Amino acid sequence: MRRQAAIAVFIMILGCANGVLAAVLPQVEAEAAVVMRAGDKRVLYAKNLDNVMYPASTTKIMTLITALEQGDPDSVVVVSPAAAGCEGSSLELRAGDRLTLRAALYGLMLVSGNDAAEAVAENVAGSVPAFVRLMNDKADQLGTVRTQFSNPHGLPDPNHFTTAYDLALMTAYGLQNPVFASIVSTREYDVHFVSRSGRTHARNTNKLLGTYTGANGVKTGFTNAAGECLVAAAKRNGVQLIAVVLNSDKRWEDATRLLNYGFQQLGL
């Protein structure tokens, strides 16, 4: 399937060169990128779609999928000292905090909380390594072949990698789950705690939500090793597109061009 998709893109490019297609291929700064129609996994554009890349926090797409399938959104997550001390982007959880899994997942996806990722993993599977095994098992089930996770948040590790195509595949699957789709399309959310008063206001880091017509997800990511990453999604006239941009200095422009191109190819 992967090679067929790559061949289809190559043919499409040849068609453009011969004037068969009116649309001009988008100029993309990203090291790797892909646009996929979610319904049938058709690749509309690709650049280095099989290159192994660091995913940064786009990892959390699989963290969310795994947590929703293995856990109860209404269960209570207890934050350990290890989770509270996780480096990087944070929901500012404290050791001993108690909140619902649902609330933790909003914090995971909207503000990209690494602390939330570890807390979710520990509470859903009993430990981070056990949760990561579930993530990898699910990735295998979905047909990814160049994806391996070593943590639930995406901090750099030589054994933690994926491809633009694999990320699109995982996202297409995730968007079929209404709870997943609701979380990743939410622009703002108040995270309340079971154990204490007050709340944490979470604002989605995805700038396309509310600014790009039809945008409905999904996840940003950044580390020095990965560069700027974005998995964007948009739906028009019932057609769901997914654009993946990895290691780009212009991820918002890249994703916008890719989605525009995809919809243009489909006459939408």
**Residue 219, marked binder:** yes
Mean predicted confidence (pLDDT) in 264-268: 96
Report pLDDT for 24. Answer: 87
182 given a catalytic annotation? no
What domains can you pick out in the chain, each with its CATH number?
2-265 (3.40.710.10)
* Residues 6 or more apart in contact with residue 151 via CB below 8 angstroms: 59, 117, 128, 132, 157, 160
* Residues 6 or more apart in contact with residue 32 via CB below 8 angstroms: 47, 48, 49, 51, 53, 163, 164, 244, 246, 247
81 CB burial (10 A radius; 0-12, 13-18, 19+): exposed
* d(C-alpha 179, C-alpha 61), whole Å: 13
60 given a catalytic annotation? yes
* d(C-alpha 5, C-alpha 211), whole Å: 30
Whole-number mean pLDDT of the chain?
A: 94
Report pLDDT for 198. Answer: 86
pLDDT surpassing 70 at residue 178: yes
Q: Tell me the C-alpha to C-alpha distance, in Å, between residue 218 and each of 59, 86, 106, 197, 215.
A: 11, 23, 12, 30, 9
217-238 pLDDT per residue, tens:
999 999 999 999 999 999 999 9
Q: Select the more confidently predicted residue: 136 or 14.
A: 136
Give the model's confidence band at 181: pLDDT under 50 very low, under 70 low, under 90 confident, else very high: very high
User: Sign of dihedral through CA atoms 12, 13, 14, 19?
Assistant: positive
Report pLDDT for 23. Answer: 66
Out of 80, 89, 112, 248, the active site residue is 112
Out of 60, 150, 235, 248, the active site residue is 60
| 248 touches 228 (CB < 8 A) | yes
- The pTM assigned to this predicted structure is 0.92
* Residues 6 or more apart in contact with residue 178 via CB below 8 angstroms: none
* d(C-alpha 34, C-alpha 232), whole Å: 11
Q: Residues 29, 163, 167, CA angle at the centre, nearest 5°? A: 95
57 given a catalytic annotation? yes
27-69 pLDDT per residue, tens:
999 999 999 999 999 999 999 999 999 999 999 999 999 999 9
Report pLDDT for 230. Answer: 99
72-91 pLDDT per residue, tens:
999 999 999 999 999 999 99
pLDDT surpassing 60 at residue 15: no
- Least confident range from 14-23, 32-41, 126-135, 137-146: namely 14-23
pLDDT surpassing 70 at residue 205: yes
Q: Between helices 128-141 and 60-70, what is the axis angle to 10°?
A: 100
95-131 pLDDT per residue, tens:
999 999 999 999 999 999 999 999 999 999 999 999 9
